[in-house]
Structure formats: structure tokens, C-alpha cells
């Protein structure tokens, strides 16, 4: 994601932020409860992203072996 690991990108967006102009507070925990009806959503999102990252790494390593069979 724009040169960042996916997990860094997700964690950055989960941080509590206050818009300077409007004063509106963006809180991932509040959003999870109000919108998703799941207070564990931020944690589950991090877990899913970590899992996808690990599975992607496995796939990439498998592809490397296909092109470099001497490894």
C-alpha cells in the first residue's frame, strides 16, 4: 500500500485522530461498535491482514522455486 507493508497501513488507520479543521474525532473502536456492531473488529482486521500477509509470503516463495528450481 503506497510502499508500506499492509499491516503498517492498517495500524496507521486504526489510530485515534482528530481533524484539525472540524474537530471531528476518528476512533476505530467507536466505529467498530457503532457501524460493525463488533467491538473486536479492529483486532480481527489486524489478524486477517497478518494472515493474508503470511499466506502471500508462502505463495511468493513457491513461485520463486518454480523459476529457480536449484534452490
**Arithmetic mean of pLDDT, 64-69:** 77
Residue 63 domain flag: yes
Q: Which residues of 27-47 are buried (b: 16+ CB within 10 A; e: fewer)?
A: ebeeebeeeeeeeebbeebee
pLDDT band for position 1 (50/70/90)? low
Residue 1 domain flag: no
pLDDT band for position 24 (50/70/90)? very high
Domains of the chain: total: 1
Instruction: Count Cβ atoms within 10 A of the Cβ of residue 11 and give its class: 0-12 exposed, 13-18 middle, 19 or more buried.
Output: middle
Residue 59 domain flag: yes
Position 28 scores a pLDDT of 94
Residue 44 domain flag: yes
What is the spatial distance between Cα 25 and Cα 3, in angstroms, rounded to a whole number? 27
Where in the sequence is the domain holding 51, given as residue range(s)?
Answer: 6-67
Cα 67 to chain centroid distance, Å, stands at 30
Residue 10 domain flag: yes
The partner residues of 17 in beta bridges, in order of sequence, read 26
Amino acid at each position: 500500500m503506497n510502499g508500506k507493508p499492509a499491516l503498517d497501513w492498517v495500524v496507521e488507520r486504526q489510530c485515534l485522530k482528530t481533524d484539525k479543521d472540524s474537530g471531528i474525532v476518528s476512533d476505530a473502536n467507536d466505529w467498530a461498535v457503532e457501524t460493525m456492531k463488533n467491538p473486536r473488529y479492529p483486532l480481527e482486521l489486524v489478524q486477517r491482514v497478518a494472515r493474508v500477509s503470511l499466506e502471500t509470503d508462502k505463495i511468493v516463495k513457491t513461485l520463486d522455486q518454480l523459476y529457480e528450481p536449484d534452490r
